């Protein structure tokens, strides 16, 4: 009797233990599924989102190339190129076919948040931009992303969305062998550059209906006499005072200033009278030369802060100039402001004086 009773008690205990385990398993199942979702579903969602972001970034950068070439944003081509780039990246093994692509302006000062859609009137801190938004959601790009473990918790799928914004801005740093050995005082751009036009560009001379033409190194211009002096508007420039000589500058006309320079750096300027060969070298590669030899027709120059008549001055930006001719006997270079400079190696964000760097991701 005692033996039967003992077996019964052991059987009952084992049955009770199994019941407790079943209850605990039932209670812990949601937690286990949650851990499974974190271990499997979250990494899968993260990888898919990263692929989507890469696709959006690539599309925005592809479109951004066409937001400043030739001085005028080509909104239509930028949009088409962004759309075409979507097919170059796979997301979860599939091609993204649907995206929201919008163009407008991005405020580099941060005063205006987000993309300012067209039509709008840009300010001097606004730069042309393109925004690409991609979504895996109901009805978009094969729908939401399916889950595995989270499905047992009633979450069969999740939406994912990404956005990229690329823009073209003036650079804060120019690469080596880019800057032409001329520089323009800041007052020239304050007085003769229209920062509020769309896009920004040179002010127009009412007498010619064209951009103002300047005799750099020779004449002074209204509102641009540095500290009340007769310092000409524009001067020869080099990275150091050791490079300010007729022979050195003549070499730099071809090779350009040999080091990278940034806003805030010091550049040496001198409007002194240099030898005729220097001006002849400029004339021979300017707009006055045969078309095939116009290697210095459109050049990037430093803008400086108007402090010293001759000596080191702080760089405040970089500008595009069209070199029209060089005149040795009269000691000047004839030039006008322009937006036609080629895209050169550059980085950072600076004021827009006709020089545009490669597209950059802003968001």
- Tokens linked to 70: 């030739």
Q: What is the pLDDT of residues 92-107, one digit of tens each?
A: 888 899 999 999 999 9
Q: Could you tell me which of 348, 362, 355 has the C-alpha nearest to residue 264?
A: 348
Q: Are 55 and 98 a contacting pair, CB within 8 Å?
A: no
Can you point out the beta strands (E) in 8-99? Answer: 90-91, 94-95
Domain residue spans of the chain: 11-167, 173-354
| Structural contact between residues 119 and 105, judged by C-beta atoms closer than 8 angstroms | no
**With bands split at pLDDT 50, 70 and 90, how would you rate the model's confidence at 259?**
very high
pLDDT of residue 22: 53
Instruction: Taking each helix axis as running N to C, give the angle between helix 75-85 and helix 42-64, from 0 to 180 degrees, rounded to the nearest 10.
Output: 150
Q: What is the mean pLDDT of the chain?
A: 84
What pLDDT, on a 0 to 100 scale, did the predictor assign at position 111?
Answer: 85
CA trace torsion 142, 145, 147, 151 (10° rounding): -70
Q: Is the pLDDT of residue 44 over 70?
A: yes
Angstrom distance (rounded) from CA 129 to CA 326? 37
CA distance 106 to 111: 10
pLDDT tens figures, 141-192: 888 877 665 555 556 678 899 999 999 888 999 999 999 999 999 988 888 9
What confidence score (pLDDT) does residue 8 get? 43
pTM of the model: 0.76
- pLDDT of 237 reads 95
With tokens 């990494």, the residue in question is 43
pLDDT value for 178 = 97
Can you name the residues that pair with 270 across neighbouring β-strands? Answer: 236
Which stretch of 18-27, 69-78, 191-200, 311-320 has the lowest confidence by average pLDDT? 18-27
């Amino acid at each position: 009797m005692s033996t039967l009773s003992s077996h019964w008690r052991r059987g009952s205990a084992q049955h009770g233990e199994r019941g407790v385990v079943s209850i605990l398993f039932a209670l812990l199942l949601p937690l286990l599924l949650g851990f499974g979702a974190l271990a499997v579903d979250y990494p899968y969602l993260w990888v898919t989102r990263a692929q989507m972001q890469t696709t959006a970034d690539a599309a925005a950068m592809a479109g951004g190339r066409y937001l400043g070439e030739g001085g005028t944003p080509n909104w239509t081509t930028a949009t088409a190129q962004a759309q075409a780039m979507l097919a170059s990246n796979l997301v979860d093994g599939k091609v993204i076919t649907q995206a929201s692509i919008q163009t407008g302006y991005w405020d580099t000062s941060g005063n205006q948040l987000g993309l300012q859609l067209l039509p709008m009137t840009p300010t001097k801190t606004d730069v042309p931009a393109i925004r690409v938004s991609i979504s895996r959601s109901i009805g978009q790009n094969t729908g939401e992303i399916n889950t595995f473990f989270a499905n047992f918790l009633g979450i069969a799928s999740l939406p994912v969305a990404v956005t990229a914004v690329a823009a073209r801005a003036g650079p804060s740093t120019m690469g080596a062998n880019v800057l032409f050995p001329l520089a323009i005082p800041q007052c020239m751009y304050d007085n003769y550059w229209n920062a509020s036009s769309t896009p920004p560009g040179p002010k127009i001379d009412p007498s010619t209906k064209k951009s103002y033409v300047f005799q750099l190194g020779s004449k002074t211009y209204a509102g641009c006499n540095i500290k009340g002096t007769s310092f000409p508007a524009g001067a020869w420039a080099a990275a150091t005072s050791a490079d300010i000589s007729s022979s050195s500058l003549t070499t730099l006309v071809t090779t350009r200033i040999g080091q990278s320079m940034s806003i805030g750096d010091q550049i040496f300027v001198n409007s002194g009278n240099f030898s005729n060969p220097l001006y002849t070298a400029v004339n021979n590669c300017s707009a006055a030369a045969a078309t095939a030899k116009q290697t210095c027709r459109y050049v990037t120059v430093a803008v400086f802060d108007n402090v010293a008549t001759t000596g080191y001055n702080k760089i405040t930006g970089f500008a595009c100039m069209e070199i029209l001719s060089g005149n040795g006997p009269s000691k000047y270079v004839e030039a006008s402001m322009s937006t036609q400079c080629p895209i050169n190696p550059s980085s950072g964000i600076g004021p827009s004086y006709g020089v545009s760097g490669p597209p950059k991701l802003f968001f």
